[in-house]
Each structure stands twice: as C-alpha cells, then as structure tokens.
Amino acid sequence: MELDQEGAEPITLVTGAAGFIGSFVSRGLLEKGRRVIGVDNLSSYYEVALKEARLAQLGKIAGFQFERVELSRQEEVERLFERWKPRRVIHLAAQPGVRYSLERPHSYIDANVTAFLNILEGCRHYPVEHLVYASSSSVYGGNTKVPFSVQDNVDSPVSLYAATKKANELMAHAYSHLFGIPLTGLRFFTVYGPWGRPDMAAMIFIKSILEGRPIQVFNHGKMKRDFTFVDDIVEGVLRVADRPPPTGGVRARLYNIGNSTPIGLLEFIATLERLLGKQAEKQLLPMQPGDVAETCADVSELERDVGFRPRTTLEEGLRQLVEWYREYYGV
C-alpha cells in the first residue's frame, strides 16, 4: 500500500476492535505492518474484562491505537473521521445475538442500524478507499435451499438481528449508488475460536461440560452449522479489504464467508467431549424462536475473486479453543 502525504502508513479504522472477530482482524492488519485505529464502546453485553484483555494484547503490537467511541452518536463518529481520515474502514461493531434481540430490540437499532448510518456518513464526507462491513448468515432466515448463495432471496428474516443486517446491506447499496462509496459486505457463518464471546455455543458448551452442568441442545440436536474458525475468517477479511470493488457502476459487493462444510451439532459436541475428556449431559429441547435448522455457505464467488478457501478442520479449531479456554479461565 502506498504511503500517505506524511510518509506514514495509511490508517485502517476497525470498529468492534475489542470484540472477538474485530480483535483478530486488528491483529492480522498489525502483523502486516498496517496502522490500526481500533474503535469500540466496551458495552456490557458480556464481560468487559474479556474485551479489555483482547485490547491489552493488541496494545503490545506497534501501530495500534484505541478510541472508545459510541458509534450510534453522530457527533462522536464525525470527530473520529475528522481526526483520523482513514484510508480503509472495516466495520465489525454490532449488537450480536439472535436470542438477545427478542429481549432488547432497541439496542439492535442503535448499534446495528444507526451506528452503520453514521459510519456510511463518515465514509461519504471523508472518502475512503474501501469500506468492508459485517453482515450475517442470519439474513437467509428460514431458507431451506443449501448451500446459501448471495443470489438467494433474503426478504424473510426470522429475527430482528437478521433484519438489521439485511438493512445494513440495503443501506450500503444505496450509499454506494448515491455517493460512489466502494464497499463490501461479508455474511459471516458461525465463527468460533480462542477469545470467543461467552454467549456463543462453543463457549457455553465448554463451560457447562467442565462444570458438570447440563447443556441445552435445541431442535433435539438436529441442527447443522457452518462452523468457521476465526483464523480462516481473518484471512478472508484481509484479502477482501485489499481488493476494493472495481470502478464503474455501483461499487457494492456481497460475499458469504464460511467453511462451506456444515457440521451436525451432536458431532460438534462429541468433538468437544473428546478434547475435554469429559461427557456432556444433554437436555434435548425443541427449536427456539428465531433459530434455523441448518446453515451452509456457498463461498465460490469469494474463492473466485480473492482466492479464499478455509483450511482449519473442526478438530484443530476446537483444540485451539479448548487450550485457550483452559489457560485463560484457569480450568
């Protein structure tokens, strides 16, 4: 990448930098010698200490600077863009979780819709080389055709979380059409790995198995997920960030980013049991509202355009997660 006018490496702004995927993406950029301004509001949706620990790891790497910003506040985002004038933006900040959206719907509009509008406005008034933003496999709703393709209709979300991510994609397309912003949306598929969120299935299962408590297995275990290891996700994100959409027409793209190999939930649990050396007590329950039975990513377009192909096996990915969990939580 070319240097800016002062001879310094141009800035990449990463929102959600204290989050699970955001911290790994920030690290990946820093290891490539990029300057990163990491942004987060350190919300209390889950333990803030984990977010602070991720930031502490990033703070040890040259080129990283943290800004605590509430992205739903327009004036804070305006100041952020005015100060740093980033060359690229990787927007990963969001209110995650399908189930929590049933309890706290307003937080999803603030964090996922209003905040994204403010990011788009920042990129409009301080033009960027590329905006990459996180969408979700949740936009596919109750689609039964697998694998999921970005060409599929996604007009039937089954959760508010999914609806906000679909809204992001529509907003992005409109801003690219109106203001020529080059942007790429990535539909993430069930990311797991070390430093993961405590509300994610893998983390919940590990904690419960180690503590000898039963785990809740929905749809009576008849679920499949396109579990994708975080290192593979980061490689895909960085490859995409380095390739803005070509000029000409609306510069808005969408890709799936996943493992493209669905794993049954019971197989996932069995792998964890083997790695932990302990059996899980399972409570088989019906499907939850807002959930789907199977996800599977068609990543052929991403492979064609940026050469992305995930490589980490479930066994290897869960092994790394279990080792990190035992070390971090001292169990």
Catalytic site positions: 161
| Chain center to CA of 22 | 7
Kindly write down the DSSP assignment for every residue of 201-262, as one continuous string. HHHHHHHHHHHT--EEEGGGG--EE--EEHHHHHHHHHHHHTSPPPSSS--EEEEEES-S--
| Chain center to CA of 68 | 19
Contact 42, 52 (CB under 8 A): yes
Contact 60, 102 (CB under 8 A): no
Contact 216, 115 (CB under 8 A): no
Dihedral angle of Cα 88, 249, 109, 119, to the nearest 10 degrees: 30
Rounded Cα gap, residues 113 and 100, in angstroms: 16
